[in-house]
């Protein structure tokens, strides 16, 4: 891995002293490292233990609150967030770097999730089934788990907590949220808005600090009944194994290497626009970002030219400024990783069709900017075709048939999102049937999700259940089966 030497670095507080563990996170704008948002105190494993204890007390009260009432707290939070949309979006852009329109979209997505799960307060329920016995009813109840831990990444600092915390709360759990160390302020605003909406203190607690310490303590805590994690495969695999070892419920949403397949009968302009949006939106820092373009060679050259034209037209800069189409990478490490992969692509012999450089002109020198980058003639087995880069780098591969496209696309270890641009219904359905991914888009980019439909991946992209929709709520509940003989005499005939 490249070093970050020579790049602007967000620091830790001088209070830390040499050799001592830093006590604050210096929360810095990735578009301009001289813009320090806050010094955020770091918490420790002891703070986690105290938070869990407090959450256990809060759980007793919250569990007894009727679900529709819990839902109303989320509904009110959605209204409050909507009135603060611009303020929240600006904070998100300053803290994470994505451009303002994308930040607004993210805040709206979180609001949609609050609204969806507010309604779930009226719908949480089980099912009834007939019994083999007379005068007996069978039904199930959905109950909360208790104290649950939620660990989130930096790339969706508002929407990620929203899509995990909202279902956990409406189900009646007490939640400890550990946001990424790079983006604690947006997560804190989420907590504040919920409390302003009426969430009792202690039902949701934020712990801010290094994953290796506070995250680890949460995953290991015996009173934490479930862990919902989103982040990298490397950390996710560890979290999964450690939590499962003590038989906690675990769900991990992880990385992706999402492909768009383009067939000769596709609308090429539509495909180029969708690929550019998927690859360079949010600076490519989305789990669902398009990082592979698998195109039929009949139209390969035309498509790649159209993508390159659009990529070159993107203005890169501070996401708060009008006209900027792509913001910075989130920090020096992410910048170093992306530059490293660009170098790997060159060494592997792929053709650099555009981009490939860090941008340092004028004010850009203060941030972590790179050009939107497209590699063509990429080999399917190469590292830039196989590994998640998590930045604005697209690898294009030419193929001769749908079957070959499916082989290439399924030949990665991930299985999160996918897309096909084509007209023929038969081709599209063969793709939908054959693709190994949790989500399939047709004639639209690989990115995005909606509150009312499950979100998540297979293979290395996800394990332990889907998020959003009813499925996202089910993870945070336990089922209880009830066998009720309402005469007290049915048991005499029971042979089961």
| Residue 328 near residue 283, CB atoms below 8 Å | yes
* Buried/exposed 156-180: b ≥16 CB within 10 Å, e otherwise: bbbbbbbbbbbbbbbbbbbbbbbbb
Q: Which residue from 10, 161, 211, 325 is in contact with ligand NDP, where contact means CB under 6 A?
A: 211
Instruction: Determine the Cα–Cα distance for residues 69 and 297; give it in Å rounded to an integer.
Output: 57
* Binding positions for ligand NDP, 302-361, rule CB under 6 A: none
Q: Which residue from 73, 170, 180, 261 is in contact with ligand NDP, where contact means CB under 6 A?
A: 180
State yes or no: residue 416 binds ligand NDP (CB under 6 A). yes
Q: Which residue from 168, 219, 263, 324 is in contact with ligand NDP, where contact means CB under 6 A?
A: 219
State yes or no: residue 255 binds ligand NDP (CB under 6 A). yes
Q: Which residue from 55, 287, 332, 385 is in contact with ligand NDP, where contact means CB under 6 A?
A: 287
CB of 17 to ligand NDP, least distance (A): 20
Identify the sign of the CA torsion 476, 465, 479, 163: positive
Q: Which residue is nearest to ligand NDP (CB)?
A: 211
Instruction: Determine the Cα–Cα distance for residues 177 and 101; give it in Å rounded to an integer.
Output: 26
Give every CB contact of residue 26 below 8 A, 6+ residues apart in sequence.
10, 11, 12, 13, 36, 39
CB of 403 to ligand NDP, least distance (A): 27
State yes or no: residue 27 binds ligand NDP (CB under 6 A). no
The Cβ of residue 324 has, within 10 Å, a number of other Cβ atoms equal to 18
The answer to whether 252 is a known catalytic residue is no
Helix H or strand E segment including 369: strand 369-370
| Residue 328 near residue 358, CB atoms below 8 Å | no
Q: Which residue from 8, 167, 231, 391 is in contact with ligand NDP, where contact means CB under 6 A?
A: 231
Helix H or strand E segment including 485: strand 477-485
Q: Which residue from 89, 165, 235, 248 is in contact with ligand NDP, where contact means CB under 6 A?
A: 235
Which residue among the candidates 253, 371, 388, 467 is catalytic per the annotation? Answer: 253
Helix H or strand E segment including 345: helix 332-347
Beta bridge partners of 41: 24
Q: What is the β-pairing status of strands 249-253 and 224-230?
A: parallel
State yes or no: residue 272 binds ligand NDP (CB under 6 A). no
Q: Considering only the stretches 55-63, 128-136, 151-159, 299-307, report the one whose residues sit in contact with ligand NDP under the rule CB under 6 A.
A: 151-159
Q: Which residue from 68, 210, 237, 411 is in contact with ligand NDP, where contact means CB under 6 A?
A: 210
CB of 343 to ligand NDP, least distance (A): 20
Helix H or strand E segment including 57: helix 45-63
CB of 327 to ligand NDP, least distance (A): 16
Q: Which residue from 55, 150, 151, 376 is in contact with ligand NDP, where contact means CB under 6 A?
A: 151
State yes or no: residue 415 binds ligand NDP (CB under 6 A). no
Q: Which residue number, 42 or 173, has a Cβ lying nearer to ligand NDP?
A: 42
Q: Considering only the stretches 56-64, 79-87, 249-257, 367-375, report the one whose residues sit in contact with ligand NDP under the rule CB under 6 A.
A: 249-257
Burial (CB < 10 A; 0-12, 13-18, 19+), residue 15, is: exposed
Q: How far is CA 331 from CA 9, 95, 334, 365, in A?
A: 7, 10, 5, 13
Q: Which residue number, 289 or 402, has a Cβ lying nearer to ligand NDP?
A: 289
The answer to whether 95 is a known catalytic residue is no
Q: How far is CA 405 from CA 139, 293, 418, in A?
A: 47, 10, 12
Q: Which residue from 71, 157, 161, 256 is in contact with ligand NDP, where contact means CB under 6 A?
A: 256
Q: Considering only the stretches 45-53, 187-195, 225-233, 477-485, report the one whose residues sit in contact with ligand NDP under the rule CB under 6 A.
A: 225-233
Instruction: Determine the Cα–Cα distance for residues 137 and 44; give it in Å rounded to an integer.
Output: 49
Which residue among the candidates 233, 252, 287, 354 is catalytic per the annotation? Answer: 287
Instruction: Determine the Cα–Cα distance for residues 395 and 259; give it in Å rounded to an integer.
Output: 9
* Binding positions for ligand NDP, 74-133, rule CB under 6 A: none
State yes or no: residue 155 binds ligand NDP (CB under 6 A). yes
CB of 490 to ligand NDP, least distance (A): 47
Angle between helices 159-170 and 100-120 (to 10 degrees): 10
State yes or no: residue 35 binds ligand NDP (CB under 6 A). no
Q: Which residue from 96, 331, 371, 388 is in contact with ligand NDP, where contact means CB under 6 A?
A: 388
Q: What is the radius of gyration, based on Cα positions, of the chain?
A: 24
Q: Which residue from 29, 230, 290, 318 is in contact with ligand NDP, where contact means CB under 6 A?
A: 230
Helices (H), 153-203: 159-170, 184-196
Q: Which residue from 146, 153, 319, 391 is in contact with ligand NDP, where contact means CB under 6 A?
A: 153
State yes or no: residue 282 binds ligand NDP (CB under 6 A). no
Q: Considering only the stretches 59-67, 174-182, 271-279, 349-357, report the one whose residues sit in contact with ligand NDP under the rule CB under 6 A.
A: 174-182
Helix H or strand E segment including 58: helix 45-63
Nearest to 122 by CA among 72, 63, 77, 182: 72
State yes or no: residue 178 binds ligand NDP (CB under 6 A). yes
Active-site residues: which are they? 253, 287
Provide the binding-site residues for ligand NDP, judged by CB under 6 A.
151-156, 178, 180-181, 210-212, 215-216, 219, 230-232, 235, 238-239, 253-256, 287, 388, 390, 416, 457, 461
């Amino acid at each position: 891995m490249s070093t970050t030497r020579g790049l602007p670095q967000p620091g830790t507080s001088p209070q830390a002293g040499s050799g001592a563990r830093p006590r604050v996170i210096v929360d810095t704008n990735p578009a301009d490292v001289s813009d320090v948002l806050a010094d955020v105190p770091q918490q420790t494993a002891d703070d986690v233990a105290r938070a869990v204890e407090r959450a256990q007390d809060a759980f007793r009260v919250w569990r007894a609150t009727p679900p529709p009432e819990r839902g109303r707290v989320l509904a009110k939070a959605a209204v409050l967030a909507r009135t603060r949309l611009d303020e929240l979006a600006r904070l998100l852009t300053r803290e994470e770097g994505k451009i303002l329109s994308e930040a607004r979209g993210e805040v709206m997505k979180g609001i949609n999730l609050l609204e969806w799960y507010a309604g779930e307060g009226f719908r949480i329920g089980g099912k009834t089934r007939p019994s083999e016995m007379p005068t007996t009813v069978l039904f199930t109840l959905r109950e909360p788990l208790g104290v649950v831990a939620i660990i989130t990444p930096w790339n969706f600092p508002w929407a990620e907590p929203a899509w995990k915390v909202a279902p956990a709360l409406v189900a009646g759990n007490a939640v400890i949220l550990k946001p990424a160390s790079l983006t604690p302020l947006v997560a804190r605003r989420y907590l504040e808005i919920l409390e302003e909406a009426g969430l009792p203190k202690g039902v949701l607690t934020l712990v801010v600090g290094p994953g290796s310490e506070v995250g680890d303590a949460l995953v290991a805590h015996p009173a934490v009944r479930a862990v919902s994690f989103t982040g990298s495969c490397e950390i996710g695999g560890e979290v999964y194994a450690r939590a499962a070892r003590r038989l906690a419920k675990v769900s991990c949403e992880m990385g992706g290497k999402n492909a768009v397949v383009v067939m000769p009968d596709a609308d090429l302009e539509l495909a180029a626009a969708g690929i550019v949006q998927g690859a360079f939106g949010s600076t490519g820092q989305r789990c669902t970002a398009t990082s592979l373009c698998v195109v039929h060679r009949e139209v390969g050259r035309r498509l790649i030219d159209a993508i390159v034209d659009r990529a070159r037209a993107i203005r890169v800069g501070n996401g708060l400024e009008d006209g900027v189409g792509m913001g910075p990478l989130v920090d020096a490490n992410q910048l170093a990783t992306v530059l490293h992969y660009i170098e790997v692509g060159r060494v592997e012999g792929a053709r650099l069709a555009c981009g490939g450089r860090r941008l340092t002109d004028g004010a850009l020198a203060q941030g972590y900017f790179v050009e939107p980058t497209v590699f063509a003639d990429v080999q399917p087995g190469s590292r830039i075709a196989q590994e998640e880069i998590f930045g604005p780098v697209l690898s294009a591969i030419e193929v001769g048939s749908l079957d070959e496209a499916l082989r290439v696309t399924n030949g990665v270890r991930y299985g999160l999102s996918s897309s096909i641009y084509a007209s023929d219904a038969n081709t599209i359905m063969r793709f939908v049937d054959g693709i190994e991914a949790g989500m399939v888009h047709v004639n639209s980019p690989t990115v995005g999700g909606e509150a009312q439909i499950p979100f998540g991946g297979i293979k290395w992209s996800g394990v332990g259940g889907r998020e959003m929709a009813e499925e996202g709520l089910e993870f945070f509940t336990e089922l209880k089966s009830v066998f009720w003989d309402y005469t007290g005499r049915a048991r005499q005939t029971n042979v089961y």
